[in-house]
Structure 1
Amino acid sequence: MAVFDGHNGSEASEMASELLLEYFVLHTYFLLDVTYSFLARKLIRRLPDNGDSGSDFQKTILEESFPFELLKEALLRAIHDIDTAFSMDAPRYNVSSGTTATIALLADTQILVANIGDSKAFLCSEIFQSPSEAKATVFRVARQRRADGVSSSLKEYHHLKSMASHGWTYLIAKELTNDHHPDRDDEKSRVESAGGNITKWAGVARVNGQLAVSRAIGDINFKSFGVISVPEVTDWLPLTVNDSYVIIASDGVFEKLKPQDVCDTLSEPLSRFTTSPEFNSSCLISLADCIVNTAFERGSMDNMAAITIPVRDHMITLEDRSCDYLAVGDQRQIYENSSDSPFLNSSQFVLLLF
């Protein structure tokens, strides 16, 4: 699954969303062919001499060498080719847009995330909080809501404190990405070494006073100033029995929320307390809707995209998981899991890689 958040036009995000799956599959098949031939030569002597069929041989290979690194390499090649394709087309059509890309691959019970720009991916994972820890969480959330100017029922607050007095299961955020902002030390060093400069405009650090990210697909006018399309990629990380959700969302969600605020919204004890009453019903239907509505409530003025996928039950296959996505355009209209979604009319695209 992937979120692309475009800027200065939708061309780059649209191309990335259209090509990622195609390029990823093509590179996967190509690398599988090369890898299969290599493994066949390497493992042929390990086959038992009992007339096993070719299918048994394939099973042996897959059991012993599931190609996690192959999938990672296929993804990196796909991203590179998308940026190359856009960079070739952009001058021809006189476009200069760019896009972030945050992509998560799930294989067996492991996850890999590749990130370019300032969209985020993170896990919401269960922990047990003692009564004192749970009460501290209640106080923190209540203070945050007051700071945001959101009123809460005193009855709800006391009910939540009563629940916390027994301890509870709570969701904590485990971030999987680091934003590529121009004032991050390593990003700043690369940009300045390439002849670019970092200045602030409207309180935001920007490359040459314009671009608010230091890595992006596209943005051909900034390539010579150290803006690159190379993603930061996690290792394959094993999902644990405590991991409940994978969240990917564009930076508009985090204009007013932190990843932990999102997990608070999804935590069963806190969900009704962290969202307005008019949004409670939407949280029961769509977690992505809940996240975006909460960001709106807190005052985010950017357009937003969010994906949630449950991962807690590892016995569920990827095909059976209920993935939830939502994108909101500049008109502040909400389209949920619908063919009428504004993906093609805004600069944000959601791609589900299943």
Structure 2
Amino acid sequence: MMKGFKVAVTLGLFLCAISSAVHGVSVSCMMAYDEGGVPAVFQSPECLKWLLLVEAHQNQTDNCQFATLQGHREYQEDFVTCNLDMKIPIPGKYGPEKVTVGLAAVFDGHGGKEASEMASKSLLDYFFLHVLFNTYKQTLPYKEEHDMVSQGHSDEPAHHVLNLSSQEALPVVDNESLHCILKEALLRTINDIDSKFSKASILSVPCSSSEAFSNHYVSGSTATVVLLLDGQILVAFVGDSKALLCSENIQSRLDAEGTSVTELYAQELTRDHHPDRADERARIEAAGGFIQKRGVPRVNGILALSRSIGDVYFKRYGLIAVPEVLGWLSLTTSDIYLVIASDGIFESLTPQDVCSILGNARTQGNEMAKNSSSCSASSSLADCVVSAALTEGSTDNLSAIVVPLRPAGSSQEYLDEL
């Protein structure tokens, strides 16, 4: 119990050092987090109302280029979340330091908007809190060893309190550790979102408390999320929304006027989770499900995805929400745009088409091609991609986020700012 008390008090002081909104945390709240993740923190009556750095949590899409369009569907089930300027505190040499992390995500819902909407609203808060808790926990082994030394290896619990706002010597979170913390936080975030929506609470609450079961939701959602940190990206994906890089081709061509034109080529960063993929099929069939083609391959002849958030009635047949992860990938000066988009974009466009559209806009000096039927001079890059997909015949919901990694004519300096 005393050890748990030390943990709780120390965590409280750590969070107070980084946000005036937090005044402490109980042992029960720490236990709730360890047992049930961030959803349990919000649900537990022992926990505070975690109103931490509101600006860092809210969906700050004003610093992102994004576009969504309902298209020809009866409902809009796509949602986007983006904040390229999250300030996250970590232990530094002389106390808390803030690192800037970018996070952008597309959630493509099906069977209703409930899963995709909840995921988009929860992502930033969940991720932020997971980073805080796990960054703090990295100091605990050091803290316990320090206390034992300072107390002469006494069997009695030490009463020294770790205060990250002091100049006490503490283990600094280096780049490798930070990369691990961010990756783990993102994986736990997606798991928590799926658990909150899909499963009964693990805190001995009746199954009816599950978001999906209590409301009879049958919806599900993809999740394609990209983290950006110091010129590197990590991609986590569930389902068939895509992330890709548009990069300069080493070889350029001459246009009709003899002017050198540098083309952009597409590098896909994700692999669709379709049921006919060999590894996905094996898992589904091992769980008692089957793959039947009805237009496209489907789990039990119904669901066209083998991984998703939600879709609670398919969990027993091998459907999972565990993301595949690509990272960390170092960006180069050849990488011009990062694109995250729902599969509606790729119903009528290829990834290379998307990069060609963006390359054309860039060639015009970031002014949309005046002769294009899908873009106007006032369009954003994301609007351009969405409009082009609709014009080319897509009938699905359409969503895209476009992150410029290096404006035309710039240098490595822009990457260094990310």
Q: TM-score, normalised by structure 1?
A: 0.72
> What's 2:48 paired with?
none
Is 2:128 the partner of 1:25? yes
Is 2:410 the partner of 1:301? no
- 5 Å-filtered alignment, 1:326-341, equals none
> What's 1:172 paired with?
265
Cα deviations by residue, 1:143-190 (Å, 9 ceiling, x for unpaired): xxxxxxxxxxxxxxxxx3444xx6532211111100001111111111
8 Å contact 2:243–2:270 — kept in the other structure? Answer: yes
Residue type of the alignment partner of 1:170 = E
How far apart are the structure 2 equivalents of 1:25 and 1:269? Answer: 35
- State the Cα distance separating 1:36 from its structure 2 match: 2.9
Q: 2:404 aligns with which of 306, 310, 321?
A: 310
> What's 1:77 paired with?
188
Residue type of the alignment partner of 2:385 = I
**How much identity, in percent, do the aligned residues show?**
49
SS of 1:277's equivalent? Answer: coil
8 Å contact 1:128–1:167 — kept in the other structure? Answer: no
How far apart are the structure 1 equivalents of 2:188 and 2:299? Answer: 26
Is 2:293 the partner of 1:182? no
Greater relative contact order (Cα < 8 A, sep 6+): 1
- State the Cα distance separating 1:127 from its structure 2 match: 2.1
How far apart are the structure 2 equivalents of 1:56 and 1:108? Answer: 27
- Equivalenced residue count is 280
How far apart are the structure 1 equivalents of 2:173 and 2:271? Answer: 33
8 Å contact 1:265–1:275 — kept in the other structure? Answer: no
SS of 1:199's equivalent? Answer: strand
How far apart are the structure 2 equivalents of 1:275 and 1:21? Answer: 37
Cα deviations by residue, 1:304-347 (Å, 9 ceiling, x for unpaired): 110001112653489x87xxxxxxxxxxxxxxxxxxxxxxxxxx
How far apart are the structure 2 equivalents of 1:37 and 1:99? Answer: 36
8 Å contact 1:264–1:271 — kept in the other structure? Answer: no
Residue type of the alignment partner of 2:356 = D
Change (3 A) 1:16 1:236: same
Cα deviations by residue, 1:103-150 (Å, 9 ceiling, x for unpaired): 0000111100000000000111112325xxx37xxxxxxxxxxxxxxx
SS of 2:226's equivalent? Answer: strand
How far apart are the structure 2 equivalents of 1:181 and 1:100? Answer: 12
5+ residue gaps in structure 2? 1-103, 148-164, 199-209
- State the Cα distance separating 1:235 from its structure 2 match: 2.0
How far apart are the structure 1 equivalents of 2:266 and 2:370? Answer: 18
How far apart are the structure 2 equivalents of 1:64 and 1:54? Answer: 22
Q: 1:12 aligns with which of 104, 109, 115?
A: 115
> What's 2:343 paired with?
251
How far apart are the structure 1 equivalents of 2:341 and 2:142? Answer: 38
Q: TM-score, normalised by structure 2?
A: 0.61
- State the Cα distance separating 1:37 from its structure 2 match: 3.4
Q: 2:317 aligns with which of 218, 222, 225?
A: 225
Q: 1:197 aligns with which of 267, 277, 290?
A: 290
8 Å contact 1:265–1:271 — kept in the other structure? Answer: no
Cα deviations by residue, 1:232-291 (Å, 9 ceiling, x for unpaired): 001211111111111000000000111111000011389789996343425x63000000
SS of 1:76's equivalent? Answer: helix
How far apart are the structure 2 equivalents of 1:268 and 1:91? Answer: 48
> What's 1:154 paired with?
none
The Cα RMSD (Å) is 2.8
Residue type of the alignment partner of 1:279 = S
Q: 2:139 aligns with which of 36, 53, 60?
A: 36
8 Å contact 2:405–2:415 — kept in the other structure? Answer: no
Is 2:240 the partner of 1:118? yes
- State the Cα distance separating 1:224 from its structure 2 match: 0.6
How far apart are the structure 1 equivalents of 2:341 and 2:374? Answer: 19
> What's 1:337 paired with?
none
Residue type of the alignment partner of 2:274 = H
Q: 2:197 aligns with which of 86, 89, 101?
A: 86
> What's 1:61 paired with?
172
8 Å contact 1:264–1:274 — kept in the other structure? Answer: no
How far apart are the structure 1 equivalents of 2:298 and 2:273? Answer: 11
> What's 1:157 paired with?
none
Change (3 A) 1:65 1:180: closer
Identify, as 1 or 2, the structure richer in helix.
1
How far apart are the structure 2 equivalents of 1:79 and 1:18? Answer: 12
Residue type of the alignment partner of 2:135 = L
8 Å contact 1:129–1:168 — kept in the other structure? Answer: no
Residue type of the alignment partner of 1:79 = I
Residue type of the alignment partner of 1:61 = V
How far apart are the structure 1 equivalents of 2:278 and 2:370? Answer: 36
